[in-house]
Structure 1
Amino acid sequence: MSPLAAILLIAAGLSLAMAGAWLTAERSGNHGWVDTVWSFATGAGGVAACLLPTGPGWPPRRIVVAALIALWALRLGGHILQRTLRGHDDPRYAELRREWGPHASRRLFVFLQIQALASLVLVLAVMAAAHNPAPSWRWGDGLGVVLALAAVAGEAVADRQLARFRADPARRGQVCDIGLWGLTRHPNYFFEWLGWLAYPAIAISVTGTHPWGFAAFLAPLLIYVLLVHVSGIPPTEAHMLRSRGTAFRDYQRRVNAFWPGPPGRQRSSRT
């Protein structure tokens, strides 16, 4: 199979998956299915990009990269799936539907097809890493594995810390600022971005034998723009300001939005 044929096949699969996500969200009224399907579909596309016979690539590296993207998808998709099965709707999509009014269904379908296109960019980064033709392990491979595992672990820890905070009745009405959430307002987003740096590390060849490996930089660049400026921080913080008001504004003053750093001195976060 040629690389172009593989890319077109994966693109079609991603488009169909997000059409299915749209249909499921429309019928159930729960938009948590959108990110659940997106995570699993992106992971499946990445695994296919690694393992389909599309050209050169050292088999052990292809297997390792496939394992990394599969681990990411299972961790993130599984986390969102658990939340979705409990009936938790995603407030970002709920707000979009309110803004779009009578055209919400059609515009959501188009929006999810754009997400399929974003998934394809990420899959291409994974593909570039998997098909690096270097015939042995390099320092970049080790760095990529460390980045990917650290990102998965960090995001899992952040999710657990937030879940424990929300489960404590004594903290009702407060903003989570414990653990990693005291270093950045969005540690889950930061670690998500960090994980996509693994693929440029694996893909890039300083000897020039794999020039298209530099295309893997598109993944962390895209993820950063989406999380920080488009579909991550802006709608999430708008929702938190509506639901937590003064407490969240206080949190914004004390803690960086994305890059981890020491928290400010003021510690009150009650409404």
Structure 2
Amino acid sequence: MNAFAWGAFAAGLAWSAAAALAVMLVTFAVAVRVGVHRIVDVAWGIGFTAVAAVTFAASTGHGDLVRRLLVTALTALWGLRLAVHIARRGRGHGEDPRYEAMLAKAPGSRNAYALRKVYLLQGALVWLVSLPVQAAQYVSGPPSALTWAGTALWVVGLGFEAVGDAQLARFKADPAHRGAIMDRGLWAWTRHPNYFGDFCVWWGLFLIACDSPEAAAVSVVSPVVMSLLLTQGSGKRLLERHMADRPGYAEYAARTSGFLPLPPKGSGAAPS
């Protein structure tokens, strides 16, 4: 059984929390200066990358080097790709309607409310969701089949995210598709290929931590929380509520799987 460095891991948790907090505070300062809080979405991927890098440094001399390098690289690739994609998508746009609606209800200062309800909350979620990335770096012993299975699942997830995002961007870039519902490529198999990709990425990273039962036990909350966020929180449910009144969306939802990729249904099927 692979040993787990509990003491070093506990100390590393503090360093990772500081890294997540620093990313969010710097992002908040930039957002206040430019007057747009939507840039916090860019900080989401950067925060995970920062946590992975800080944990890699903090775990020196403890976990297996191959696993440490692997989990750090996978997290950074996912986080930085997501950050760049969101930055490009939001370039030239004003405030995100979600944040505008939230901040309109602020009882006092909009910026102070945003700091509490958006930045600090997202920083805490980055720390919590990244637990498999942190725990995996303190696992000794060479990577097992679980590590490579997790890596394969991560590859599937990143592929769904990247391909789905690229397909949607090309679709929206065509003026002929203005106002239309994207129902091609991966979007014909699932209404949320990017969210399904996130789901695979984080269950894959969790599998890498499963080389140690202790690391698995302490970090299983991460993919569970991410799955709930994607399906019941700020992901699928919130987006579909926003899309519900779009012409053609009800028909699209009736024939297309709500999350897991499945062949399109007949036009008379009930939405999932």
Q: More displaced, 154-163 or 193-202? A: 193-202
How many Å separate the matches in 2 of 1:248 and 1:24?
36
Q: CA deviation at 1:55?
A: 5.9
* More divergent stretch after superposition (183-192 vs 39-48): 39-48
- Report the counterpart of residue 258 of structure 2 in structure 1: 257
Supply the RMSD in Å over aligned alpha carbons: 2.2
Q: Where do 5+ consecutive residues of structure 1 fail to align? A: none
1:41-62 residue CA offsets vs partner (Å, 9 max, x unmatched): 1111122213323663111111
User: Residue 167 of structure 2 corresponds to which residue in structure 1?
Assistant: 161
CA distance in 1, matches of 2:239, 2:109: 22
Structure 1 residue 171 and structure 2 residue 177: aligned?
yes
2:80 counterpart (58, 74, 83): 74
Counterpart AA for 1:264 = K
User: Could you tell me which amino acid in structure 1 is paired with residue 129 of structure 2?
Assistant: L
Residues 213 and 54 of structure 1: is their aligned pair in 2 closer, same or farther, counting only changes over 3 Å? farther
User: Which residue of the partner structure matches residue 236 of structure 2?
Assistant: 233
CA apart distance, 1:188 = 0.4
Check conservation: 2:56, 2:137, Cα contact below 8 A: yes
| Closer/same/farther in 2, CA of residues 45 and 201 from structure 1, 3 Å limit | same
Check the 8 A contact 1:203/1:214 in 2, yes or no. no
**In the alignment, which residue of structure 2 is the partner of 1:248?**
249
Residue 35 of structure 1 is matched in structure 2 by 41
Q: Note if contact 1:75-1:152 (Cα within 8 Å) is conserved in structure 2.
A: no
SS at match of 2:251: helix
| Cα distance in 2, alignment partners of residues 88 and 158 from structure 1 | 24
Deviations 1:176-210 (A, max 9, x none): 011111111111011011100112211113xxx54
8 A contact 2:9–2:138 mirrored in 1: no
Of residues 159-168 and 136-145 in structure 1, the stretch that sits farther from structure 2 once superposed is 136-145
- Spell out the pairing of 1:60-99 with structure 2 (5 A cutoff): 60-87=66-93, 89-99=95-105
Which whole-Å CA distance do the structure 2 matches of 1:30 and 1:182 have between them? Answer: 33
Q: 1:258 is paired with a residue of what secondary structure? A: coil
2:3 equivalent in structure 1:
none
Match of 1:147 among 153, 166, 170: 153
Alignment partners' CA distance in 2, 1:67 and 1:185: 29
Cα distance in 1 for partners of 2:160, 2:242 equals 24
Distance change (3 Å), C-alpha of 1:264 and 1:31: farther
**Unmatched tracts of structure 2, length 5 or more:** 1-6
Go from structure 1 to structure 2 and tell me whether the alpha carbon gap of 1:169 and 1:85 turns closer, same or farther (over 3 Å shift): closer
| Counterparts of 1:54 and 1:199, CA distance in 2 | 20
C-alpha displacement at 1:115, in angstroms?
1.1
> 8 Å contact 2:21–2:120 — kept in the other structure?
yes
Measured in 1, the distance between the counterparts of 2:143 and 2:10 equals 27
**1:39 Cα shift?**
1.1
Give TM-score scaled by structure 2 length: 0.87
- Aligned sequence identity (%): 32
- CA separation in 1, counterparts of 2:232 and 2:110? 22
Deviations 1:55-103 (A, max 9, x none): 6311111111111111111111111122233336433223322344755
Distance 1:170 1:61 in 2: 47
Choose 34-43 or 250-259, whichever is displaced more.
Answer: 250-259
Q: Distance in 2 between matches of 1:131 and 1:4?
A: 10
Q: Tell me, yes or no, if structure 1 residue 121 matches structure 2 residue 139.
A: no
Q: Is the 8 A contact 1:30 1:84 kept in 2?
A: no
Q: Distance in 2 between matches of 1:53 and 1:5?
A: 10
2:28 pairs with 19, 22, 29, which one? 22
TM-score by length of 1: 0.87
Q: Report whether the alignment pairs 1:110 with 2:116.
A: yes
